[in-house]
Structure 1
Amino acid sequence: MLLLLVTVLTVGFGLYLFLKYRFSYWERRGVKQSEAVWFFGDNLRQMLMRETFADMMKRLHDVHPNDRYTGSYQLLVPTLLVRDPDLIKTICVKDFDHFSNHRTFVPEDVDPLFGKNLFALKDQRWRDMRAVLSPSFTSSKMRGMFLLMSDCAEKWVKFFLNKNQEVVELNMKDALTRYTNDVIATCAFGIEVDSLNNPDNIFYTMGRRATDFNSLSRRLKFMGYFIVPWLYRIFKISFFEEDIKEFFYKLVDDTIRTREEKGIVRPDMINLLMEARRGKGNKIEADEKVIDTGFSVVQESDISNGKSSAPMKITNEDIASQVMIFFFGGFDSTASTMCFVAHELVENPDVQSKLREEIMETKSQLKGKLTYEALLKMKYMDMVISETLRKWPLAVFTDRVCTKPYTIQPTKPGEKPVQLSVGQNLLMPVYGIHHCYKYYPHPERFDPERFNDENKDKISPYTYLPFGLGPRNCIGNRFALLEMKAIFYHMLSEFELVPTEKTQIPLKLSQSSINPIAERGFWMGLKKLET
């Protein structure tokens, strides 16, 4: 009994010393830090569902607001939270070679489908894969995919018109994920999927399961990868369920085999990866005389466009992983952003009316179908989308990992040099920056005029980060923007978005979801316009 007591006391004291040392990490380096809770770090409120992940980013951003950076703790991991725009530029752009990687989430050897995608790849492997994929997402390629997107949007609108109801009440999240599902199916795989008329199609059901971060098993896995990654490696605990992995592997295998057997060539991601595997490579051609997709577009950096020193060895597994992350981002995240756009149009009918006026004016100038050029000339459409991405960024933070020793030099009184070692995690609180009154007066107000021709040039550089920044920005940002603009052009041409009894005004974010989503869902009505 005495031996057991001594053992417990010894272990307890050892744990106390470890936690005391761990949670003084930043203080020992002369960096002001947040009031983290031992073991849980700054995540306790979010884990107890007392605040959203977005609110956590806002709270951490506002700690020591006059400092360029703050020490924080993501569970047990010391993380430097960087809030100063100039320092963000230095880290993510100017000195990118020192911060070229994201933090490892799912180890490649545990789940290759997740661990080998572009977001997770590191160092030269990331550069090589980025160079291969970049040609898929230029504005000229978007022009080629536009007709497919627009056709999906027209079918979506026609489905609800055919209901012949004055007001169709719907869960907009469910409806719009079916639209994004159809767009991805046709643009990435060449498969026509009508997810409204065929609601239980396998492409949609697998996509929904793959992107569900809110199930208990996914939440436990998410925490486990951060707390005890070594345990997950030992037991090979995969992020995706086996049937989901089998579906995507088989889908890619069948698509590649069919294209090779029948000589099918399509301008999409799978084709580019097949070409790269054959050693033909790809390059980004100049997008001359092509209108870009708006204020939110992040330009591609030359750092990822150079040729690799040796040809990439690309397997079907590699291709499946890249397609999966494209699907992962396009299926749920883009649909969620569209839902926030729709909600703001319901809550701000004056904005909706002004946008519809622009749509109808554009429509009157067209001879038939909507064109790529006509859509992208719509300034107010771009202002509405840009402001939604400012107020409701789906990526509430972006991160970097130090890959070479680096020193943050002092520039303000009281600062000391901060030595960053290899493996040090850094975090940029996008949501907090987007809701900072210094950069955006009345940040909680939805105001598209922030992005008009007069005001948009006043926005401070590196304070608008909906798609990240630097060489590791979101590669699919043009695709997502075009997809959003297409659906709202067709939707508002035929319907008025109106509130129903289930509509939550003002909108509140769910504290039980990792991703930003409405507390009571995105319920609203489609009211047919009077003709």
Structure 2
Amino acid sequence: MFWALILAAVLLVTYWLLSRPYKYWTERGVKQGKPVFIFGDYWGPMLRKQTNAEVVDMLYKIDKDARYCGIYQFLTPVLLIRDPELIKKITVKDFEHFVDHRIVIPEESDPLSGQKWRDMRSTLSPVFTSSKLKYMFSLISERGEQFAQNLLKENKDVITLDIKNSFTRYTNDVMASTMFGIQCDSLEEPKNEFYSLAQKSQDFSGFWKNVKLLGYFLFPEFCKSLEISFYSKEVNSFFEKLVTENIGSRQKHGIVRPDLIHLLMEAKNHAKKSTGYQESNKMKTEITDQDIATQALIFFFGGFDTVASLMSFMSYELATNPDCQEKLRQEVDEVMQNCDGKVTYEAIVNMKYMDMVTSETLRKWPNAPAVDRVCTKPYTIEPTRPDEKPIHLKENDTVLLPIYALHRDPQYFPDPDRFDPERFSEENKANIEPYTYMPFGSGPRNCIGQRFALIETKLFFFYILANFELIPVERTQIPLKLTKNPFTMTAEKGFWLGFKKRVKQN
């Protein structure tokens, strides 16, 4: 009886300790939802009852008139920012207070933070300018043309594909070529080592990975002390070895190739010659070979699946909106004719309707339903309305930018479920309220690889629509519904579409 009472007391104290955080926002006069014990507001995705996008949209609607509301990522209180002007202040005007992202799982390929991030960002930014993308353009174009030619070899008028699977093969081959200097044809050789390990790097399924993720959210310091790894050591080791051996070979033999490794090596040499140590903070800005390997891994992991997702959603929208597809195909044919069949960087960049379709896809289906910022210096959100109190954010507090919900808010995008590229026409896009459309984030910490991703996507559709018509097939889910997998934003029943070969007019 005595031990039963002790156990009951321990359980009650534990419950009180784990429930106490859920009063954090109400005690500060901020409206919040109804968090669930341990899971907070994220019980739905973890139990496969809701998608992450649905959760973000639900939390965004806690108070439709508020500038912000309080939410809980498991036991962690987070401030969800609803007001575009406040988003601008946090991500741009007062960026010095919100430099970092929240790092949940410590891995060697995690994004940098603080001054290290600043140093690396300033060094790497020139790598992703238009001139440098033009330098890599031919490699990306070759992979897009290769993909289309492989499909044309099929002895069928209509080729039915699970396009997400096929598109990851294209993005894999682009990354292999433009980043690692490796030639792959993952449609022809579906089990090549590069693609197999790349796919493994994006596999977040499995019971133990879910347990590890939950552990990092609930007890991050404890998990860090145990050095619990989330990603496969095999995957990290393979790509790091690939990069370091690649660098060594190029340095030894004087090999120059128009890819990311070469540009990073150039950035390394430039930093070494021109900066050395920064007098203001005594921090090294010199780039090491390990830095190059780490950055290549970040770009690869960040772009392998996300670009394939963008292309999958865009294919679905074109297949189910044939009028939009026909208009885009006409633009493709016109550019193809003007370029005599050899597309150029300038031609792709200047395709206005292609840009409109891509932008509308990113509005309706952003890759990240939300992004966070971590408070790096104490910050106060001053009240601007009678029902508000000052919100004092301390170091390591987190704010969330609800991208998916903003993109689906009819206040900013009327009839938000409708696919309408005309929202982004020259006449209409000027009317979009700033900081309500941000598929690549906002401010200095936005996605550094966004230009690369857009060129990769546009080139792909240029070659596909020049040769095929995208059509729904029997297995196409209409309307598309998102899977309730908490780690990815993809179709519930897969992206099944048909590629109908075009009959070219003489």
Distance 1:280 1:384, change over 3 A: same
Structure 2: gaps (5+ residues): none
Amino acid paired to 2:362: L
Match of 2:144 in 1: 153
Amino acid paired to 2:12: F
Match of 1:497 in 2: 470
Match of 2:406 in 1: 433
How far residue 462 of structure 1 moved from its aligned partner, in angstroms, is 0.2
- Secondary structure in structure 2 of the residue aligned to 1:526: strand
Match of 1:232 in 2: 223
Match of 1:471 in 2: 444
Counterparts of 1:346-385 in structure 2, within 5 Å, are 346-385=319-358
Provide the C-alpha distance between the structure 2 equivalents of 1:145 and 1:17, rounded to a whole number of angstroms.
Answer: 57
How far residue 513 of structure 1 moved from its aligned partner, in angstroms, is 4.5
Provide the C-alpha distance between the structure 2 equivalents of 1:11 and 1:385, rounded to a whole number of angstroms.
Answer: 55
Counterparts of 1:284-295 in structure 2, within 5 Å, are none
How far residue 417 of structure 1 moved from its aligned partner, in angstroms, is 0.5
How far residue 7 of structure 1 moved from its aligned partner, in angstroms, is 1.9
Q: Does 1:132 align with 2:131?
A: no
Provide the C-alpha distance between the structure 1 equivalents of 2:293 and 2:206, rounded to a whole number of angstroms.
Answer: 24
Q: Does 1:99 align with 2:98?
A: yes
Q: Please, which moves more after superposition, 90-99 or 34-43?
A: 34-43
Report the TM-score, using the length of structure 2 for normalisation: 0.95
- Secondary structure in structure 1 of the residue aligned to 2:23: coil
Match of 1:274 in 2: 265
Amino acid paired to 1:426: V
Q: Please, which moves more after superposition, 141-150 or 66-75?
A: 141-150
Cα offsets for 1:470-495 (capped at 9, x unmatched): 11100000000000000101100010
Match of 2:182 in 1: 191
Q: Please, which moves more after superposition, 18-27 or 159-168?
A: 18-27
Provide the C-alpha distance between the structure 2 equivalents of 1:333 and 1:218, rounded to a whole number of angstroms.
Answer: 20
- Secondary structure in structure 2 of the residue aligned to 1:236: coil
How far residue 47 of structure 1 moved from its aligned partner, in angstroms, is 1.2
- Secondary structure in structure 1 of the residue aligned to 2:140: helix
Amino acid paired to 2:298: I
- Secondary structure in structure 1 of the residue aligned to 2:438: coil
Amino acid paired to 1:274: M
Amino acid paired to 2:83: D
How far residue 311 of structure 1 moved from its aligned partner, in angstroms, is 3.2
Instruction: Report if aligned partners of 1:277, 1:312 keep a CA contact under 8 Å in 2.
Output: no
How far residue 363 of structure 1 moved from its aligned partner, in angstroms, is 1.5
How far residue 310 of structure 1 moved from its aligned partner, in angstroms, is 4.0
Instruction: Report if aligned partners of 1:152, 1:182 keep a CA contact under 8 Å in 2.
Output: yes
Match of 2:461 in 1: 488
How far residue 229 of structure 1 moved from its aligned partner, in angstroms, is 1.6
Match of 1:298 in 2: none
- Secondary structure in structure 2 of the residue aligned to 1:404: coil
How far residue 105 of structure 1 moved from its aligned partner, in angstroms, is 1.7
Amino acid paired to 1:54: A
Distance 1:282 1:17, change over 3 A: farther
Provide the C-alpha distance between the structure 2 equivalents of 1:226 and 1:371, rounded to a whole number of angstroms.
Answer: 46
Match of 1:291 in 2: none
Cα offsets for 1:180-215 (capped at 9, x unmatched): 111111111221111111111111111111012234
Counterparts of 1:273-352 in structure 2, within 5 Å, are 273-278=264-269, 280=271, 310-352=283-325
Distance 1:5 1:86, change over 3 A: same
Cα offsets for 1:282-312 (capped at 9, x unmatched): 99xxxxxxxxxxxxxxxxxxxxxx9985433
Counterparts of 1:208-219 in structure 2, within 5 Å, are 208-219=199-210
Distance 1:85 1:201, change over 3 A: same
Amino acid paired to 1:451: F
Give aligned-pair identity as a percent: 49
Provide the C-alpha distance between the structure 1 equivalents of 2:399 and 2:448, rounded to a whole number of angstroms.
Answer: 21
Instruction: Report if aligned partners of 1:497, 1:526 keep a CA contact under 8 Å in 2.
Output: yes
Distance 1:20 1:244, change over 3 A: closer
Cα offsets for 1:390-431 (capped at 9, x unmatched): 000001101011111111000112101011111111111110
Cα offsets for 1:28-48 (capped at 9, x unmatched): 111111211121100111111
Instruction: Report if aligned partners of 1:132, 1:272 keep a CA contact under 8 Å in 2.
Output: no
Instruction: Report if aligned partners of 2:45, 2:486 keep a CA contact under 8 Å in 1.
Output: no
Provide the C-alpha distance between the structure 1 equivalents of 2:490 and 2:87, rounded to a whole number of angstroms.
Answer: 27
Provide the C-alpha distance between the structure 1 equivalents of 2:468 and 2:395, rounded to a whole number of angstroms.
Answer: 54
Cα offsets for 1:246-280 (capped at 9, x unmatched): 21121012111101111223454433443454464
Structure 1: gaps (5+ residues): 284-305
Q: Please, which moves more after superposition, 83-92 or 185-194?
A: 185-194
Match of 1:222 in 2: 213
- Secondary structure in structure 2 of the residue aligned to 1:256: helix
Instruction: Report if aligned partners of 2:46, 2:486 keep a CA contact under 8 Å in 1.
Output: no
- Secondary structure in structure 1 of the residue aligned to 2:77: strand
Distance 1:267 1:362, change over 3 A: closer
- Secondary structure in structure 2 of the residue aligned to 1:23: helix
Provide the C-alpha distance between the structure 1 equivalents of 2:391 and 2:166, rounded to a whole number of angstroms.
Answer: 49
Instruction: Report if aligned partners of 1:35, 1:42 keep a CA contact under 8 Å in 2.
Output: yes
Provide the C-alpha distance between the structure 1 equivalents of 2:27 and 2:480, rounded to a whole number of angstroms.
Answer: 41
How far residue 121 of structure 1 moved from its aligned partner, in angstroms, is 1.2
Amino acid paired to 2:146: K
Report the TM-score, using the length of structure 1 for normalisation: 0.91
Cα offsets for 1:428-452 (capped at 9, x unmatched): 1110111001000011111101001
Provide the C-alpha distance between the structure 1 equivalents of 2:462 and 2:341, rounded to a whole number of angstroms.
Answer: 14
How far residue 136 of structure 1 moved from its aligned partner, in angstroms, is 1.3
2:485 to 490, 512, 530: 512
